[in-house]
Copies of this chain bind each other. A is one copy, B any other.
Amino acid sequence: MTAEESGAPEAGHAEPQHGYSPNKDNYAKRLRRVEGQVRGIAKMIDEDKYCIDVLTQISAVNSALQSVALALLDEHLGHCVSHAVAVGGDEAEQKLAEASAAIARLVRS
């Protein structure tokens, strides 16, 4: 694998391979559930549900999204970043910097 390929794995590939690709169905399912939860929160507000109960649901959605993010990140480090590191050079530097920036956004969001 060349650095170019690992840098833009989807370009011109019949089967793009991200770390998360084998688990796409699992992510799709988790995100559909999150989407339903968000719709449920909107409904709770529309029906004047008690504020504290709305907040509990929001905390639940944030936890669910954090779990998705941590799983994606784990697979990204184990595939995309690892491939770039094995290749070395600028590609590796860039992937590592990118991953660190994404981690910082997660920690601070």
Contact indicator per residue, chain A 21-40, by CB within 8 Å of chain B (1) or not (0):
10010011001101100110
What is the copy number of this chain in the assembly? 4
A51-B76, A52-B76, A96-B82 known; A45-B66 Cβ under 8 A: no
Nearest-Cβ distance from residue A48 to partner chain B, whole angstroms = 4
How many chain A residues sit at the interface, stated as a range, is 35 or more
The SS class assigned to the A binding surface is: helix
Chain A residues within CB distance 8 Å of chain B:
10, 16, 18-21, 24, 27-28, 31-32, 34-35, 38-39, 41-42, 45-46, 48-52, 54-56, 58-63, 65-66, 68-70, 72-78, 80-82, 85-86, 88, 92, 96-100, 102-109
